[in-house]
Amino acid sequence: MRAAVAEMPHVTLHARADASALVAARAGLNARADVPRLSLTAVLARVVVEALREYPRVNGRTEEGEIRLYKRVNLGVAVALEDGLTVPVLRDAQEMDVDAVGAAIVDVSDRARSGRIKLADLADATFTLSTLGAHGVEFFTPIINPPQLAILGVGAVRDEIRLQNGSPVAVPVLYLSLSFDHAAMDGVQAARFLELLVAKVEAGGPDRPAAGGS
């Protein structure tokens, strides 16, 4: 990480998203019978994958001095350990629906915390998701994992008072922080991805799984 900070021109953009529809979508998904419950991280991870597929400018790596962008999404998910952090990878996450993403996150997190993670599970990520909302953090500056081009930091959902039809209403707001390599893209390109992600969060979250299966 020291090398990333020293050698890569980090820039971080912050945004707020109305999470009302996302929270409602998660509640609806978790109301289904005989299906494992989904964390907010899992639901948001699927939204991130959909946004990366639609706008792949931030989904890539610097390899042999060249910037390479990918249609496939190998999503790194930061997992806190007792003595540090590790980032297992959900390979070809674009092929997973939200249930599969949720199951994969539980699997890699359990294996990482029990010391069963393999080096192959940590390789080839094209983008990373890091969440600190469970610790009450709102905004933060996530550090890019080289050779990736960007990382998304997700903070806590907080109620904010907003005016709706002239009346104050409590709205759940999600805090998003996108760090990107300014040598690989400019601020407008990064902002377009963050803008798209906010729009997808506010539109209601991920595509729903097909009935009867994941």
Catalytic positions are 182, 186
Q: The tokens of 60 are what?
A: 């890539």
Cβ pair 108, 102 in contact under 8 A: no
Q: Which residues pair with 157 in a beta bridge?
A: 174
* Calpha distance 103→116 (Å, rounded): 17
User: What is the 8-class DSSP label of residue 1?
Assistant: -
* Calpha distance 39→54 (Å, rounded): 23
72 contacts: CB under 8 Å, gap ≥ 6:
92, 94, 126
